[in-house]
Amino acid sequence: MIRKQEALDYHSQGRRGKIEVISSKPCQTQRDLSLAYTPGVAEPCREIEANPDDAYLYTAKGNLVAVISNGTAVLGLGDIGALAGKPVMEGKGVLFKRFADIDVYDIELNSHNPDEIIRAVQMLEPTFGGINLEDIKAPECFYIEETLKKTMNIPVFHDDQHGTAIISGAALVNALEIVGKNIDNVKVVFSGAGAAGIACAKLYESLGVKRQNMILVDTKGVVYKGRKEGMNPYKEYFAVDTDARMLADAMKGADVFCGVSAKGIVSKEMVKSMADDPIVLAMANPDPEITYEDATSVRSDIIMATGRSDYPNQVNNVLGFPFIFRGALDVRAKMINEEMKIAASHALATLAKEDVPDSVVRAYGGERITFGRNYIIPKPFDPRVLLWEATAVAKAAMETGVARNPIKDFEAYRDSLEARLGKSREVMRFFIREAQHAPKRIVFPEGEEEKILRAAQVIVDENIAKPILLGSRTFIKQRIADLGLDLNGVEIINPGKAPRFDEYVTAYYALRQRKGLTRFDAERHMKTHNIYGMMMVELDDADGLLSGLTQHYPDTVRPALQIIGKREGVRKIAGLYMLVFKNQTIFIADATVNIEPSAEDLAEIALLAAEKVRQFDIEPRVAMLSFSNFGGTQHPLTERVRHAVQLVRRSEPDLMVDGEMMADTAVVPGIVTELYPFSTLKGSANILICPDLTSANIAYKLLTHLGGAVAIGPVLLGIRKPVYLLTPGCDVSDIVNMTAMTVFECQQYGDRRPEQSKEILGRFKSSFQGIEI
């Protein structure tokens, strides 16, 4: 429960309010100033004057939305005025930015005159790419939106109307599917005939509900044909011939209740009177028309949704407006039409049937979430909503002819949406895309684990790899059924009962017989999933292996070294992490394998890391880290790093490498420039070689949890065939991403021609546009 003082403190502490303007371009020097303002700014002005569409190229217009209100219908507070409504409009801006990376200015208009509001908004068209109307009372809101849509050439959207309609529409579609009712036969009762109620009724009609099967109820009772009191053209459209006069009458035999009205107006008796498998969408805020506890106490067959996060099936408008505007802005739509709204509803309904990411499960208490009566619409913090809904809206805009800048490549568009969720997601999209071009056989020794099975479903659905699951066939099949997955055709191998078990034992025994292994030991070890999986890779029955979800790194690394072994010429393998920040990406080693590396080990780690980074078509800049800069402290630990630098230079004279140096010297170019101009390191380092595993592990975890980096890895360096490690307890999405990286590594070993590799790596490098590497 949010308390008054907590809410006031949230808005008042630190910088007042909830929003600020941040420059997207540097303004640190006189030259920057001349480009940002006069005289340089004159050039884009001239271009826009000559071609107005260039405003989308040279200004923020294409990603800028105005949130406009006159404060006449603010949440449950009513007409509190434009100024008092400002915190809500700022909050709307926060949600636009957080969920869809859309910039917002909130504009509060101190007027109750609809025509004044219309004229004010019309004059803002040159500034904004879209208009979000907010908290304007009915029926004026209908007139204002309709007029603006007719007279403006950018999207205008009244969220209070359409947001609730779109989200609840998705809930309706899925709830009807669960109970097995046809949308064209159901009877729907609407409580509330204001902005949201009328919009819900209109959208439900578009989704397939027959108008004659709808009954609207407002504060005067049922909206019936011939009623005079409290009517307007919008209510008149839905007036029906009925003897029902009050809400209780209308609810009898109803299949669906859609409430956007007031707390507590629905009784238990009303819910009892509804048809079998009733669907109750009680969306009054902050308290619903009937509580979840009361409704479920009288109907065990009910499907219920509310506006609250502490009950199942929260109908939250944040599932709509950010993503609808994202899709509309990205195709420069002239309007948001009915088809775009329907596309948004169907996208949400379809997404709810997909496997729910672990990050979302954790955010909502950690219990498994699956499609059903208590989960009919996605959760607000599901990051996939952006990808599904914005894409659906953009496609609908194109199909209905309102898109002025159609998307030519939707795969690339989805990649751009991933980038808005974070640079690391964009980087991983590259690996997923490339894996899809030539999927490889990846063996999962932990094939009985739920997360592995859920990841396998995504891997199969997206054609990333051909998973091979190790474990008990009976157990895995049962778990697949329990999880509601469809993994027919996926290979399952029980090592102890495998047809090639004896052949693998013989091969393994031959490899290890002079390492103290007996034939009996070989048979016993071969029933161990990691060892069997490594033999599959060694004997080319699988292309790569991914393990470590339930084990420590040595449990995977040790058999990899014993069976697959190191590449020729490699003394020690190592682990490399890619750390992706918003504006910078660095690689760090070794945080995985070598606890106290010698100077020779550090040199080899640096060389292997540089080699791997070059595979991504990135020129390595290597810093060998210590607690001293260039001989500033004489100590065996610093001497070891200095010696490692010498060994690296001796092995690869052209590699940009220097040390020993402190971490800040490595990543802040000005320190080297001002204090150590002799250094061969030019610019900030993109590969950090830590002096031991302790420092590397601490560094990457601190950078991840406090520095805002996303860690991708670890990648094993120096192993002869692709073996990748999972972090114990990682998410399904992490398993999918690491599978894509494993497939990519397999492809480098296999069938790619040099010119193909060059083209592919060029695409990888383009994933880092806008950030320093």
Evaluate whether 41 touches 107 at the Cβ level (below 8 Å). no
Both tokens of residue 57?
């190229």
- Whose tokens are 């090639």? That residue is 500
CA angle 211, 171, 733 (to 5 degrees): 150
How many residues appear in the chain?
A: 773
Q: In what order do the strands lie in the sheet with 64-69?
A: 103-108, 64-69, 130-133, 156-158
Contact 700, 577 (CB under 8 A): yes
Answer yes or no: 92 catalytic.
yes
Which tokens is 89 given? 């409009």
The residue among 157, 160, 144 whose CA lies nearest residue 109 is 144
Looking only at Cα atoms, what is the longest distance across the chain? 98
Residues 337 and 539: their CA atoms lie apart, in Å, by: 58
Do 298 and 268 meet the contact criterion of CB atoms below 8 Å apart? yes
3-state class (DSSP) for residue 534 = helix
CA 465/CA 456 separation, integer angstroms: 9
With contact defined as beta carbons under 8 Å apart, do 721 and 564 qualify?
A: yes
- Edge-to-edge strands of the sheet including 585-589? 656-661, 621-625, 687-689, 585-589, 574-580, 710-717
Closest CA to 700 of 604, 625, 603: 625
How does strand 710-717 pair with strand 574-580?
antiparallel
With H, G, I as helix, E, B as strand and everything else as coil, classify residue 616: coil
**Of these residues, 92, 341, 423, 612, which one is catalytic?**
92
CA separation for the pair 420, 97 (Å, rounded): 10
CB 223 within 8 A of CB 194: no
Helix (H) or strand (E) holding 716: strand 710-717
Under 8 Å between Cβ of 618 and 773: yes
Which entry of 37, 58, 272, 477 is annotated as an active-site residue? 37
Site of tokens 């003897």 = 243
> What's the Cα-to-Cα distance from 396 to each of 65, 197, 386, 391, 477, rounded to whole Å?
20, 24, 15, 9, 40
Query: For this structure, is 263 an active site residue?
Result: no
HSE value, Cβ hemisphere, 13 Å, CA-based, for 598: 4
How far, CA to CA in Å, does 125 sit from each of 101, 119, 396, 404, 439? 21, 11, 23, 16, 48
- C-alpha angle 237-238-242 in degrees, rounded to nearest 5: 130
H helices present in 239-320, as ranges = 247-251, 268-272, 292-298
With residues binned 3-state (H G I as helix, E B as strand, rest as coil), the percentages for the chain, rounded to 5, are 45, 15, 40
Sign of CA dihedral 155, 157, 163, 167: negative
Please tell me whether the peptide bond between 286 and the residue prior to it is cis, using omega within 30 degrees of 0.
yes
Determine the Cα angle at 553 with ends 547 and 556, to 5°: 50
The alpha helices in 548-668, defined as continuous H runs, are 553-559, 599-615, 636-651, 663-667
Question: Which amino acids are annotated catalytic?
Answer: 37, 92
